[in-house]
Amino acid sequence: MAVANQKGGVGKTTLAVHLAAWLAMRGKRAIVVDADPQGNASSWLLGGNRPDRLGETCQVEGGMWRVLHGGQDARQTVQAVNGQWRIGVLSGNESTSDALALLSLRGRPMDTVARRLRPLGEWVDYVLLDMPPSKSVGFRELLFAAEWVLVPTQLERMSLEGVGFVARTCQELQRDQGKGPRLLGVVPNMMRRQTVEHREQLGKLVETLGPLVWPPIPESIRVGEACSFGEALWWYAPGETVTRAMELVAWRFLRNTGGDPHPQPLSQGERGGSDG
């Protein structure tokens, strides 16, 4: 599953991280592949953003570099995120873009990234690719590695243009390569219901894409706070509106990928505690 949008700052990392954590709480095995050279998912999951480490440089290993350039088995490169998370992460940093650029310069075939990451999909239930912005080198190759794509978007023009870009890129891959990921859904993120533009844009999005538009997630400072503390909303802010909205999105994800069709609220035990 690729979590993608050509626009930055729309919540790709937030969505990928929370879906993986939620799936793990439901007994699924999930891995986040940090394919963005910014390495935000790796920092979040491996502790680089925690307040007690502010001012320090987070030395996140270049797992993607080792897999794409060094030929290391992706399964051996995954790092376990213990405690409440119970997921794995294939880390990334600025070396990710170098690895993708080298593949391009050497004229490697389109399916090279897919072949390098394929062992993960044979090993766990869900692999979520936190994608880079579309102008990044290797974007198409990364997208080609996915079976499905989920597109988070803000309800503003530039972000919404990214939805169309991702959909067109999927169609181009299917046309040119004979296969490519399918659009699973669009997640309106950081919605401000009091803002007329957001309400109007949401209406237009639903009018255009219908059931492909998933429940919106409201804007909330709790998301950034949870990231700073190296946590997920399920544990950091279990009673918040944004957490309940994220849970609805997670249930939609599970249903649409063949999981439980009947949403149930998380119990307090699932939302908190060192054992999840």
Confidence band of 54 (pLDDT split at 50, 70, 90): very low
Amino acid at 118: R
pLDDT of 49 reads 45
Q: What is the pLDDT of residues 191-217, one digit of tens each?
A: 998 899 999 999 999 999 999 999 999
Q: Is a pLDDT exceeding 80 seen at residue 18?
A: yes
* Rounded (5°) CA angle 214-125-222: 45
- What tens digit of pLDDT does each residue of 134-192 get? 777 899 999 999 999 999 999 988 888 889 999 999 999 999 999 999 999 999 999 99
Rounded Cα gap, residues 175 and 169, in angstroms: 10
Q: Given the DSSP bridges, would you call strands 79-81 and 87-90 parallel, antiparallel or unpaired?
A: antiparallel
Question: CB–CB of 192/218 below 8 Å?
Answer: yes
DSSP assignment of 53-119: GTTS------HHHHHHTS---HHHH-EEETTTT-EEEE---THHHHHHHHHHHTT--TTHHHHHHHH
Please tell me which residue, 1 or 61, carries the higher pLDDT value: 1
What one-letter code names the amino acid at 64? Answer: M
The tens digit of pLDDT for each residue in 70-118 reads 889 999 999 999 888 999 999 999 999 999 999 988 888 999 999 999 9
Q: Is the pLDDT of residue 276 over 90?
A: no
HSE toward the beta carbon, residue 275, CA cutoff 13 A: 1
Of 237, 231, 226, 223, the closest CA to residue 266 belongs to 237
pLDDT greater than 90 at residue 272: no
Tokens of 225: 């706070």
Mean of the pLDDT values across residues 1-17? 95
Mean pLDDT score of the chain, rounded to an integer? 88
Cα dihedral sign for 139, 141, 143, 146?
A: negative
Please say whether the structural domain 2-259 has been given the CATH code 3.30.200.20. no
Most confident of 44-58, 96-110, 233-247, 261-275: 233-247
Owner of token pair 């509106």: 241
Which pLDDT score, from 0 to 100, does residue 194 have?
87
- Res 259: pLDDT: 72
In this model, does residue 275 exceed pLDDT 70? no
User: Is it the case that residue 251 has pLDDT exceeding 50?
Assistant: yes
| Residue 59 scores a pLDDT above 60 | no
Q: Any idea where the domains of the chain sit in the sequence? A: 2-259
pLDDT score for 266: 46
